[in-house]
């Protein structure tokens, strides 16, 4: 997910590694218009991102509902949930800008 100028990262959540599956992740950003855009996917051990679902919500409360629904399914199927995760930031040219996080 790209974060453009004027947008902000709302959060990132990741599951524990699931053997032979990978890691489920949910990423969210707030656009300039105030809408929260999210992406949910599984990242395979080889780095490939599959089963990508995207959506938009109007508030952090609605994003929390999305996270709760996704976690409910992960718990039921794999016995894991996604928890808040740290993240690194890079420019499109590949420069690490992680140290500029607020």
Across 1-102, where does the E strand assignment appear? 8-14, 23-30, 36-43, 49-57, 83-84
DSSP bridge partners of 37: 29, 56
The structural domain count of the chain equals 1
Q: How far apart are CA 44 and CA 92, in angstroms?
A: 23
pLDDT at 2: 83
Specify if 70 maps to a domain.
yes
Segment-wise mean pLDDT, segments of 10 residues, the chain, 102 residues? 88 95 96 96 92 95 97 97 80 65 50
Specify if 69 maps to a domain.
yes
pLDDT in tens, 35-45: 999 999 999 99
Specify if 31 maps to a domain.
yes
Specify if 101 maps to a domain.
no
Specify if 61 maps to a domain.
yes
Specify if 77 maps to a domain.
yes
Domain enclosing residue 14, as ranges: 8-94
Specify if 85 maps to a domain.
yes
Give the CA count within 13 Å in the CB-facing half-sphere of 85: 17
| Number of neighbours of residue 32 by Cβ within 10 angstroms | 10
Specify if 1 maps to a domain.
no
């Amino acid at each position: 997910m790209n974060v453009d100028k004027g947008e902000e990262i709302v959060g990132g959540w990741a599951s524990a590694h699931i053997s032979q599956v990978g890691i489920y992740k949910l990423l969210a950003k707030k656009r300039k218009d105030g809408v929260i855009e999210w992406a949910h996917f599984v990242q395979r051990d080889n780095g490939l991102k599959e089963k990508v679902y995207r959506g938009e919500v109007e508030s952090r409360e609605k994003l929390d509902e999305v996270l709760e629904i996704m976690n409910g399914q992960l718990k039921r199927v794999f016995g894991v949930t996604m928890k808040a995760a740290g993240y690194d930031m890079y420019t499109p040219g590949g420069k690490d800008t992680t140290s500029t996080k607020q």
